[in-house]
Amino acid sequence: MDRLERPLPQATDAPPPGRTGPVRTTAYDPSAIQGLGGAAALAALFEHRPEAFLRRVPGRETFVFDGPGGSAVVKRQVGLDRREWWHERLHRLSVRSAGRIEADNLAELVAAGFPAPRPHALLESGRASVLVMERVEHETDLASALAAESARHVERLTELAQLVARLHVAGFYHRDLYLQHVVLRRASGELVLLDCGRARRETAPRERWFVKDLAALAHSWPANLGGDAWLEFLARYRERRGAGPELADLTRWVDAKRARLAAHAPKFVDPAGGGRSRA
């Protein structure tokens, strides 16, 4: 089983959110939907009780769903983070569900040529949404691979620097860019970005958003690689981006933001464990 697909016990006192009205379905990949059992099978995911969860926090559940002709990752969510709600309210004609935001993000990233899971379908009912997306088969995430001190994985840092630089040049910023959210696709070894629900794209994004992405990488940087490897990564990133602040300024800004992140680290990141996931 994939390291990021280590099952979590299912709580019996928390029923699935269920549908609260008519189900609105958006099909991104009709062939994948048929392989998963069709629209009716996907609509039942509002009430589906998986044997185990990949991740479960209040308002969000992620699990694997196996259909007759394939499997997918399902993210079931209720409501929207307050800051995201206000951003939607201020920048769009209507507030999208959490599932639609992530589905739109994934579709836009894939269309722009970035490695991310492909959305298959989105189902919405009231405040609840169910996103069905590609299951990226992988052995490990980049944080674990780098912590294992494998030379062939350390060489992937050049590829990562190029990927992040290309992402930023295109106007995207991930907003959750920890090394745990970059996995190595099993078949090809390609780096793939996960957890893109908070990503955004702007025509002229502020530098601080790029700094925050880099600070998240720095926060999850395995201790065994040392500071020199991080400085080399930043230099490669800046070179491939081809613009932006001087390296000394960028390093200082990222270090300052990393320190602020460390003060309220995500629950799934263990700063004492070299960036290893607790999930």
Q: How far apart are CA 230 and CA 221, in angstroms?
A: 8
What is the tens place of the pLDDT at every residue in 31-59?
Answer: 999 999 999 999 999 999 999 999 998 88
Could you tell me if 143 and 65 lie in one domain? no
Could you tell me if 81 and 156 lie in one domain? no
Domain termination site, one of 134, 156, 190: 134
What is the tens place of the pLDDT at every residue in 212-255?
Answer: 999 999 999 998 887 888 999 999 999 999 988 999 999 999 99
**What CATH number did the domain enclosing 30 receive?**
3.30.200
Could you tell me if 117 and 154 lie in one domain? no
Could you tell me if 97 and 163 lie in one domain? no
Could you tell me if 156 and 126 lie in one domain? no
The answer, yes or no, to whether residue 80 has pLDDT greater than 80, is no
Domain boundaries, position 57: 3-134
What is the tens place of the pLDDT at every residue in 117-138?
Answer: 999 999 999 889 999 999 999 9
User: Which pTM does this prediction carry?
Assistant: 0.84
Number of folded domains that form the chain: 2
**What CATH number did the domain enclosing 258 receive?**
1.10.510
Higher pLDDT, 22 or 152: 22
Average pLDDT, integer, range 146-169 = 86
Domain termination site, one of 117, 134, 151: 134
Could you tell me if 262 and 174 lie in one domain? yes
Could you tell me if 129 and 215 lie in one domain? no
Could you tell me if 204 and 108 lie in one domain? no
Domain termination site, one of 79, 102, 134: 134
Could you tell me if 18 and 103 lie in one domain? yes
Could you tell me if 182 and 265 lie in one domain? yes
Could you tell me if 108 and 191 lie in one domain? no
Could you tell me if 267 and 173 lie in one domain? yes
Percentage above 90 pLDDT, the chain: 62
